[in-house]
Structure 1
């Protein structure tokens, strides 16, 4: 891979990790538990989070000048997802990945 600014590389890594964690948690943990974990609002938020993280990483990797706007939106969605996963409980890995990504994307969007 071509040389990337360390802060950009770090944000791409955080977005990629969050994408993988949200998707795996939604499709594994949440589907297995059912109930509130598969309520439309929560489950849709988790998939939305995974998708915006993947999109943000892609925008940064291709060098799109719009990556800052995508990262700003990603930070908001990740923060919302972290809060909702924390509210439901027993989703610490997802909460951490979302918070890390939100923080990294906030910096990238600034």
Structure 2
């Protein structure tokens, strides 16, 4: 069985937390709030962020070296999502989690 480094386990944890934060906030805060919270570009970015986080965690759990590619993409999408959530406002939990995930993903992609 493939031995997982503490750094990789940490990244998996951050990705799964970000997945949960983005999907949960999109469903439970943005949809009911309406307005700028459901602008198509912002809302799609939140869903894309949740998905790339889930996918990155999945590839790391499988132990595939290709996780470097998904982690690189994940970091970029997380940064874009954080910026979008910051611009919309009242989404600090999502902003914080996206930035934490982006940081750990950049490390795993290196």
Per the TM superposition, whether the score is higher than 0.5 is: yes
**What are the residue-to-residue correspondences of 1:1-110 with 2, within 5 Å?**
3-110=3-110
Q: Which runs of 5+ in 2 are unaligned?
A: none
* TM superposition score normalised by structure 1: 0.97
Output the CA distance in 1 between the equivalents of 2:39 and 2:27: 13
Q: Which runs of 5+ in 1 are unaligned?
A: none
Output the CA distance in 1 between the equivalents of 2:21 and 2:82: 12
- Structure 1 runs of 4+ aligned residues shifted over 6 Å read none
Question: What is the CA distance between 1:32 and its match in structure 2?
Answer: 1.1
* RMSD (Å), alpha carbons: 0.9
* TM superposition score normalised by structure 2: 0.97
Q: Is the partner of 1:79 in helix, strand or coil?
A: helix
Question: What is the CA distance between 1:67 and its match in structure 2?
Answer: 0.2
Superposed CA offset, 1:52-73 (max 9, x none): 0000000000011100011000
